[in-house]
Structure 1
Amino acid sequence: MKDMLVRLMELPDISEKEGQLAQEKIIFRKPIPPEKSFVRDWVFDHFGIYWANEVEASFSHLPVHCWIAQKGNDILGFACYEATARNFFGPTGTLESMRNKGIGKILLVKSLQSLKEMGYAYAIIGGVGPADFYKNTVGASIIDGSEISIYENLIRKKP
């Protein structure tokens, strides 16, 4: 999988979509340290150990380098930034049953806004799966030659 580059100067306005989701009682916020195990375990259950480990790393920063979508006591999605490498967005995921509502877009933009607030003009979206989503949502483009990335020598569990 390749990395993508996104310009942070002109991110899309998500306020209308966020307001619509607020009507459904879906909120977006950064979790706090007492919630670390809940967020990590939720990510592990839905997306696996690698992403759970990256979420755990996002809690080593204050404020936490992660956004969540929440309805009541339920997590619906998450997005991390600077979890594995500086200026990297990801991992991110939304419950399958909650996809196509705009939750992933809001989590993406909020994370990229956080990187912009840290002083970055561009960000890297690491190890991209759905390139069209990032291209269409924030104008990201593939970085040529990025097949070899920070994940190149990732230790994998043996079968």
Structure 2
Amino acid sequence: MEYEGRHVDNSTRHMLMDTVCRAGLSRLWEQNFAYAFSTHSLSAYLPDRDEWNYPVDKIATGSMTPKERDIEADNADMIIDGLSVPRQDEIVRLKLDFGVVEVRRPYASESRALIDWVAGEFGGGWASELGAALQNTPATAVIASFPRGTFATTNEHFVGFMTFDGLMRGFETAVGILKKYRGRQIALAIALKLIDLMVRNGYRYPIFGGTGPTLRRHFLSLLPTLHAIPGSEQSMFYRAIQC
């Protein structure tokens, strides 16, 4: 390797690459990214930095079993190849046994009602994350709801929600489905719509943050390019006061 016409030995090369990588990662952290990805492996330059070299090339193949793609942890962040998910309609309509449920971005006029609903059903922490997502333009959230006019009251229309870019950029955080509507693949429909929106926002590898074992195993069984991230057990959620 040469730098400005001078030969650079391996030790110096590794030091330079280590410095460049640390500077790049620091800049991404300042921009509120929790993870960074490279189109080339860094293992040749940083052989002692295994935590920086998660095999992204394996993500796109979909050749590993759900168990091989999971880790032993109560909670874990997950990564998926966003291009492996089919593009979604602007409004995805699910025809279920109890009626039609629409999966879509929320409208600005629904913001206050949605935040109040999430606070009442799932707590103030998730309501705060949803509020942050709804302040983005366009909103970085997906909801599942019955069509307008199905019920007499507003809150009866809401079924579930999911957000990204609320806590960290490129990072899905809060997800909630009313208990009486679970087990009907509504969470999957919301996740697929969210992944599509994240890809359209420039995130090739969306991150699902702090996923518990039950939901993680469910999604891993359905999405062959979804992987739990080794070393992500603490995620970003354990830095904030629980609300």
Is TM (by shorter chain) over 0.5? Answer: yes
What's the counterpart of residue 66 of structure 1?
Answer: 141
- CA RMSD, aligned part only? 2.2
The offset of 1:85, in angstroms, is 0.6
Cα 1:34/1:19, change in 2 over 3 Å = closer
Deviation at 1:70, TM superposition (A): 0.9
**SS at 2:95's partner residue?**
helix
With structure 2 as the length reference, what TM-score do the two structures score? 0.59
Match of 2:82 in 1: 8
Aligned to 1:156: 242
| Alignment partner, residue 20 of structure 1 | 95
Give the TM-score normalised by structure 1: 0.88
Deviation of 1:25 after TM superposition, in Å, equals 2.5
Q: Secondary structure at the match of 1:113?
A: helix
Whether the 8 Å contact between 2:88 and 2:196 is mirrored in structure 1 is no
Are the counterparts in 2 of residues 21 and 27 from structure 1 also a CA contact under 8 Å? no
User: Post-superposition shift, 1:134?
Assistant: 2.1
Secondary structure, aligned partner of 2:162: strand
- Cα distance, 1:128 vs. partner? 0.6
5+ long unaligned stretches in structure 1: none
Identity of aligned residues (%): 26
Structure with larger RCO (C-alpha < 8 A, sep 6+): 1
Residue aligning to 2:201: 118
Distance 1:106 1:150 in 2: 25
What is the one-letter code of the residue matched to 1:134? F
Closer, same or farther: CA 36–22 of 1 in aligned 2, 3 Å: farther
Note the alpha carbon deviations across 1:62-117, whole angstroms, 9 max, x for none. Answer: 11111111113410111111111111112111110001112111100000000011
Unaligned regions of 5+ residues in structure 2, if any? Answer: 1-74
Query: Where do 4+ consecutive residues of structure 1 move more than 3 Å?
Result: 12-15
Q: Which secondary structure does the structure 2 equivalent of 1:147 belong to?
A: coil
Bigger Cα Rg: 2
Correspondence list, 1:9-158, <5 A: 9-11=83-85, 18-21=93-96, 24-71=99-146, 72=150, 73=154, 74-129=157-212, 130-139=215-224, 140-156=226-242
Alpha-carbon separation, structure 2, partners of 1:80 and 1:123: 12
Deviations 1:138-157 (A, max 9, x none): 23211111123222321136
* Contact 1:81 1:90 survives alignment (8 Å): yes
